[in-house]
Amino acid sequence: MLRNQLLLVISLCLLTLKVTAANDINNMRVWPSEGSTRVVFDLKNSPEFTYFTLRNPDRVVIDLADLQSDTALDINKKGPLLKRVRYSTPRENSDTRIVIELNRQAKPTLFAIPPAEDKGHRLVVDLVDSAPSGNSDVVLDMNQSSRDRDIIVAIDAGHGGKDPGSIGPAGTFEKNITLSIAQLLESRINAESGMRAVMTRSGDFYISPNGRPEVARKHKADLLISIHADAFSQPEPRGASVWVLSMRRADSELGRWLEKSERHSELLGGAAEVISDNASERYLAETILGLSMDHSMSTSYDLSKKVISELKGITRLHKRAPQAASFAVLTAPDIPSILVEVGFISNPQEEKNLNWSKYREQLADAMLTATKRYFRQTPPDGTLWASIKSETRTHKVRSGESLSLLAQRYNVKVSSIKAANNLSSDIVRIGQILTIPST
């Protein structure tokens, strides 16, 4: 009798513990992408959590305090990095332990997001893949790689999550338009040999403006393209524009980086150790950082002109020359960065255009073409494109020669010659200097 009463008391205590747990998991979602995977836990309340990683096999272990849940942790989209997500025995009975099993090592970043719009509390787990291609022998750090690395383009879809951006007359959210164009550009870049895209956000979630260039730096990006849609209080303004960092903001950012000596190594590498050991050589750090900023701004301006050149064949231009502004997303001193306003979402006709999938594809194509034009001229050192450029030949067209004849002579495709010279037709003129790509 006493034993039965004791079991009843224990059962009631456990039931009470379950009922009074402060938090619960409502759902889990997964977004795999090239180079990273995002796992989101939808929660009843704001989470209190700690985490650590384990090797052999690779795992991320998350402890959620004062939370009990039996919600199924089903993976909707696994991707190449994620193996499975499961519960494990927690340290405290009132807590929940979640184990994310990985196919290989990844760098985790965890943060909580408060409720916004129709979304409640969330815990976001970002996992940066150590071998995005799925081949553990592929190393993307040019200092360690024995092969020619990819050109890495960071694509930033403006706004997101609790920040919808501008809203068009018909109710179109800027954050949805920018994400769609960013995803189209991502797929096009990833289809190019020697190029790889990384996204600052792959879904509808918020990232601070200052956090976006940090994502690009984490992936060692060679370029950051931020995509937005403009707006005005009146419906008349329309057209696209491209923006770069203003000189005034560039100077202030340079000073901010100089003050944060612990971050010098992010930009200066081994030179940072020498400079940090000698305070009198601060001017050397300033010189090196200044040169880095100058190069980034010069590259940004050159690329922005090429983007404008491509956009004018698709849409009206609001500004026919690159514009300078103090946008936080453009402030990385070591990464060339541009912000593309694809049109005025506050203009009814342009809102309609931006909701047309074919039009968004054309905008993505224009940005891709401009990016390829720039990197063909000045590919980053150590990349496949730099290697190809060093191996290219030139040919001066003579009477009677055609693209098909030259393709046969040099054993390359006509399309390759056209792409290397930005030719839109098969017509060449006598005396024209053509770049002949390697086979």
Indicate which CATH number applies to the domain containing 48.
2.60.40.3500
User: CA nearest 217: which of 205, 200, 230?
Assistant: 200
- Give the percent of the chain with pLDDT over 90: 29
Angle at 359 between CA 172 and CA 375, to 5 degrees: 115
pLDDT in tens, 376-403: 888 998 888 887 777 667 888 888 888 8
The pLDDT value given to residue 145:
44
* 420/374 same-domain check: no
* 296/366 same-domain check: yes
Indicate which CATH number applies to the domain containing 366.
3.40.630.40
For the four alpha carbons of 344, 349, 353 and 354, in that order, the dihedral sign comes to positive
d(CA 372, CA 379): 9
Range of the domain at 87: 14-138
The pLDDT value given to residue 363:
96
24 belongs to a structural domain: yes
The pLDDT value given to residue 268:
47
Please tell me whether the peptide bond between 57 and the residue prior to it is cis, using omega within 30 degrees of 0. yes
* 397/372 same-domain check: no
Supply 254's token pair. 């340079």
User: CA nearest 416: which of 400, 392, 398, 383?
Assistant: 392
Length of the chain: 439
Contact predicate 338/307, CB 8 Å: yes
The pLDDT value given to residue 90:
86
Q: Which residues of the chain are modeled with pLDDT < 50?
A: 2, 6, 15-19, 134-146, 258-259, 261-278, 280-281
185 belongs to a structural domain: no
Torsion of CA 228, 229, 231, 237, to 10 degrees: 130
* 121/256 same-domain check: no
344 belongs to a structural domain: yes
Single out the residue in 385, 402, 417 at which a domain terminates.
Answer: 385
295 belongs to a structural domain: yes
Indicate which CATH number applies to the domain containing 396.
3.10.350.10
Contact predicate 397/430, CB 8 Å: yes
* 41/99 same-domain check: yes
250 belongs to a structural domain: yes
Q: Which residues contact residue 305 at a Cβ distance below 8 angstroms, ignoring those fewer than 6 apart?
A: 321, 322
The pLDDT value given to residue 16:
47
* 274/423 same-domain check: no
User: CA nearest 414: which of 430, 399, 401?
Assistant: 401
Q: Total structural domains in the chain?
A: 3
For the four alpha carbons of 142, 147, 151 and 154, in that order, the dihedral sign comes to negative
d(CA 204, CA 217): 21
User: CA nearest 45: which of 61, 62, 28, 67?
Assistant: 67
User: CA nearest 151: which of 419, 371, 415?
Assistant: 371
d(CA 77, CA 33): 10
* 355/418 same-domain check: no
The pLDDT value given to residue 18:
44
CA distances from 47 to 28, 62, 125, 127 (A): 14, 11, 13, 19
Supply 334's token pair. 């070591």
**DSSP per-residue letters across 123-141:** EEEEEEESSTTS-TT----
159 belongs to a structural domain: no
